Structure 1
Amino acid sequence: MDFQQLNSDFGIAKQLEIIPGQGGMPMIKIGNASARALISLYGGQVLSFRPVAQTEDVLFLSSQSAYAEGKAIRGGIPVCWPWFGPDPKGLQRPNHGFVRNHFWQLAKTEAVGDTETKVSLRFTESFKRENTWRQPFMLLLDISIGPSLQLQLTTYNTGDQPFSITQAFHSYFRVGDIKRVKILGLEDCDYFDKLEQGTQKIQKGVVSVTQEVDRVYVEAYKNLVIADPVLQRRIHINSPNTSTAVVWNPWSKTSKKMPDLAATDYRRFICVEAGNVAFDLIKVQPGSRFSLQANYSLLPD
């Protein structure tokens, strides 16, 4: 990886630098008047986002993450595409698709004054095609680092046949104490409990987490809030082009089986994921596109 050339092509003085990160992985380091951030070209993954007024990162990143090709980085915001969860066709393809386990290309960078930095990453079927995914496509991930963190993943069907996808931003949010966190905005929504063979239930009141949780909420609202009294902040999640949301925390027993999580890490994060999941299947016609969007910001406590 030629970091000098990357910085010559895409670096922005006093705002954006491409650096060798953990495991020598190329990473985009951003610092502007609004926030600090770190983005991995491997996986097209935002690893860190911290507004300048905050002492704690908005995102959780495991200290035991693997930084090696073929393995996903545990934390930040992995991109799940073209399927979310297990391989829908049972062909032993990786969970959550393949783009989080490969390098993306840096396509464009831009400074909007000194308060916002934009990055565009590209993943094309000619760049890396899995043997079991043969439909021509291109992905463009637009990331904005400013007062809020904004993501837009656009799927382009560049072939002559339609294809269907599920997808998600698998966002890990740092919290002070998982037992004291509340998730607002899912009240009265139906959800499928993946820990009980997909049993359909109704959310009564706000979501709190006191044990392992793995739920897919359907007809979810476009605006959700993670209320964190320990870190004295509220994380606002806006996702206009989705009708599903996922809430996940592995808790203690499952965490112990995960080599890239410390035994007590489950106490310090919650995954609240914006996506098109389960029955929210997106069909992309030839020559057309579809965008998944999410905006993450902090509200006054």
Structure 2
Amino acid sequence: MEIQRLNSDFGIAGQLDIFPGQGGFPMIKISNGSAKALISVYGGQVLSFQPHDQVEDVLFLSQQSEYVAGKAIRGGIPVCWPWFGPDPKGLQRPNHGFVRNQFWQIANTEAINGAETKVSLMFNETFKQENTWRQPFMLMLDITIGTSLQLKLTTFNTGDKPFSITQAFHCYFRVGDIKRVKVFGLEDCDYFDKLDQGSQKTQHGAVTVSREVDQIYIDAVKKLQIVDPVLKRRIHISSPNTSTAVVWNPWSKTSMKMPDLANLDYQKFICVEAGNIAFDLIKIQPGSQFSLEANYSLLAD
């Protein structure tokens, strides 16, 4: 009945359909003149984005993902908010915040034209719990599916006190072979190596991956590029309101400890994450708002 109501309120004939996905989670399926996509209402998470000229999905989604309330879905683009990484206050709250493992609400859907579809998801303070997050707020996530994938996450401070957040779009990009991928745009940037006690280092040349990596880049440029010679494409990442970026891959040893990831899956993805992370702390005054934006587009190589 809930799915029927959602389709009645938000479905778009010939372009957008809402159906019960794995775990019974409501899923939004989009197919327009430019691309097809899959969005989970749980987590407010884009799970798939595939322009019609692409043989492979732009995003990686683990076949071993758990679709269980309270757990994050492994892959796609999880939303990290209101903190990135471990609980900054050490209160044993979830890694990467709480919105990626809760249900959002569909606020609006729109066929901009035959080749572009926009979905707006909302997360409000009804979640507010004494031991998790005491500040009144509202989030709006705008997802636009066209020749590119556009994301805009807006945080509204609806209370009477300022609060600070870190946040990120935790993108899992599908690649042909992790060992052959290069990430451009971070050359000469300093970064914190989380696998070496957070020591500060400098990136020399393009980023390549031949072992486990977990690196937070500071003073990062607004445009990055993933070059994938196996899938013969370039993924462009543009994020105007950020100054930090993360590159992550768990490699073989850590992957084996992750039940929602197959042992060899690390070879098939790279996480390049745009966000306001670490020292890029965003303070939002009462009655104010801040938007994290990102655009993901492709070029054949």
Partner SS state of residue 152, structure 1: strand
Please identify, of 130-139 and 232-241, the stretch whose mean Cα deviation from structure 2 is larger. 130-139
Query: For 1:44-59, what aligned pairs fall within 5 Å after superposition?
Result: 44-59=44-59
Q: Note the alpha carbon deviations across 1:3-35, whole angstroms, 9 max, x for none.
A: 111001000000000010111110000000000
State the 1:300 CA deviation.
3.1
Mapped partners of 1:300, 1:112: distance in 2: 26
State the 1:130 CA deviation.
3.2
Structure 2 unpaired stretches of 5+: none
Partner SS state of residue 95, structure 1: coil
The percentage of counterpart residues that share the same residue type is: 77
Match for residue 85 of structure 2?
85
Match for residue 189 of structure 1?
189
Match for residue 242 of structure 1?
242
Mapped partners of 1:269, 1:37: distance in 2: 18
State the 1:70 CA deviation.
0.2
State the TM-score, normalized to the length of structure 1: 0.99
Match for residue 27 of structure 1?
27
Mapped partners of 1:83, 1:260: distance in 2: 22
Amino acid at match of 2:128: R
Q: Note the alpha carbon deviations across 1:227-258, whole angstroms, 9 max, x for none.
A: 00000000000000000000000000000000
Match for residue 277 of structure 1?
277
Mapped partners of 1:93, 1:291: distance in 2: 24
Aligned residues: 300
Mapped partners of 1:228, 1:254: distance in 2: 23
Amino acid at match of 2:205: G
- RMSD across aligned positions (CA): 0.6
Q: Note the alpha carbon deviations across 1:93-148, whole angstroms, 9 max, x for none.
A: 0000000010000000000111000000000002x123321000000000000000
Mapped partners of 1:300, 1:184: distance in 2: 16
Partner SS state of residue 275, structure 1: strand
Match for residue 299 of structure 2?
299
Match for residue 135 of structure 2?
135
Mapped partners of 1:175, 1:113: distance in 2: 30
Structure 1 unpaired stretches of 5+: none
Q: Note the alpha carbon deviations across 1:149-192, whole angstroms, 9 max, x for none.
A: 00000000000000000000000000000000000000000000
Mapped partners of 1:45, 1:295: distance in 2: 15
Amino acid at match of 1:225: Q
